[in-house]
Amino acid sequence: MTDLRHARSLRNLAFLFCLSFSVVSAVAAQEKPPVYTSAEQSIVDEIKSLRSTPDSERGPKTTTLAFEVRTLPAGPNKLRLAYNLANLSTEGDFGRVTLQTVADTLTQTLIETPQPADKDGTPAAQYVTLARLVRYEHVTTTLDTPQYAKATAELEANEAAVAKADFTLKDLDGKEWTLSALRGKVVLVNFWATWCPPCRKEMPDLDALSKRFAAQGLVVLSISDEEPPKVAAWIRDHSITYPILLDPARKANEAFRIEGIPQSFVFNREGKVVAQSIDMRTQKQFLEMLAAADLK
């Protein structure tokens, strides 16, 4: 998952690697980039290569890396690696064992190296990531701290906000779309960006599903806050046919409490949120989400 927590103040950076192994966080905090030992650097390099690893190999590789992170000495670097590995572990369907192993590693590192809350009192990003894994990927954790509890409460508040969210946005052709006006349809709302690798990877599956279930009332809407020419060029080059909505003022992003992309939400025909993802989904995973709206 591409974390936007610190990215908002750094949107002019190139995002050469979306997570940036906390370099974005370090710059935002005016800290020096981390200095890794040789053992740590080896793991950094392996984590950076995950997105180029075939999906069939990525689950086992992620599991191995999680165990390797556990062997490192406690400290900020270990936590940084556990956190970034956790954010990458949800970019697809790599198996329950992999996700639980990653969650256990992040739990261990947070016990060893607790993090302070942000200046505004919100829980540190590492606690939020663990809470997301537990709540939306259905793993478990033994962590029981005030920050973790606050992160869980934050997710619950976000869900309550999404349940009431609405938007009216224009697509690339200038047509207006209002979420609440689509009652009676099954609506999949997806937040993405052209610079986000996992966002780009899932869009052909979304396009295929929009065509497959169009006659059954499925509407897929992907929302971007980027400049229209950049979005239009990417969509044209990749032959995406479902509506792409523009959110230049980020009003929809804010209404849905988007902190990382891609994220997707499925609304049933009564307008109720029945499924949501915290990262990239495979077509199989999207089908499971749509099944929650009785679309099969």
Residue 45 lies in a domain: yes
pLDDT beyond 90 at 274: yes
Instruction: Let me know: does 191 contact 277? Beta carbons within 8 Å.
Output: no
Domain boundary among 99, 125, 159: 159
Mark residue 50 as left, alpha or beta (left: phi above 0; alpha: psi -120 to 50; beta: remaining).
alpha
Tell me, yes or no, whether 150 and 48 share the same domain: yes
Q: Is residue 296 part of a domain?
A: no
In terms of domains, do 241 and 286 share one? yes
Whether residue 26 is predicted with pLDDT greater than 70 in this model: the reply is: no
Computed over every residue of the chain, the mean pLDDT equals 91
Confidence of residue 293 (pLDDT cuts 50, 70, 90): very high
Phi, psi of 211 (to 5 degrees): -75, -40
Q: What is the pLDDT of residue 2?
A: 75
Q: Mean per-residue pLDDT for 107-123?
A: 95
Closest CA to 135 of 152, 159, 158, 110: 152
Share above pLDDT 90 across residues of the chain, in percent, rounded to a whole number: 87
Domain boundary among the residues 103, 137, 159 is at 159
Task: Check whether residue 71 and residue 130 sit in a common domain.
Answer: yes
Mean pLDDT of 55-64: 97
pLDDT band for position 31 (50/70/90)? low
Q: What CATH number has the domain bearing residue 287?
A: 3.40.30.10
| Amino acid at residue number 112 | E
- pLDDT score for 4: 59
| Residue at 231 is within a domain | yes
Mean pLDDT of 81-107: 97
Within a domain: 8: yes
Is 34 a domain residue? yes
CA distance linking residue 162 with residue 263, whole number of Å: 12
- What whole-number distance in Å separates Cα of residue 176 and Cα of residue 169? 5
Give the confidence band of 220 by pLDDT, cuts at 50, 70, 90.
very high
* 22 and 105 co-located in one domain: yes
d(CA 271, CA 265): 11
Contact 271, 164 (CB under 8 A): no
Residue 275 pairs with which residues in a beta bridge? 266
- Report pLDDT digits (tens) over 160-219: 999 999 999 999 999 999 999 999 999 999 999 999 999 999 999 999 999 999 999 999
25 lies in some domain:
yes
Structural domain count of the chain: 2
In a domain, 179, yes or no: yes
Domain containing 135 equals 2-159
Q: Could you tell me if 95 and 233 lie in one domain?
A: no
Mean pLDDT of 3-22: 40
- Do residues 64 and 189 share a domain? no
Give yes or no for residue 9 having a pLDDT over 60: no
Chain mean position to CA 224: 14
Is the same domain home to 136 and 275? no
Q: Is residue 264 located within the same domain as residue 211? A: yes
Domain boundary among 100, 132, 159: 159
Same domain for 148 and 251, yes or no, is no
pLDDT, mean of residues 235-242: 97
269 in any annotated domain: yes
Same domain membership, residue 178 and residue 151: no
26 and 137 inside one domain? yes
Predicted confidence (pLDDT) per residue in 119-141, tens digit: 999 999 999 999 999 999 999 99
- Band (pLDDT 50/70/90 cuts) for residue 246 is very high
Q: Distance between CA atoms of 234 and 155, rounded to whole angstroms?
A: 32
Residues 11 and 135 in one domain: yes
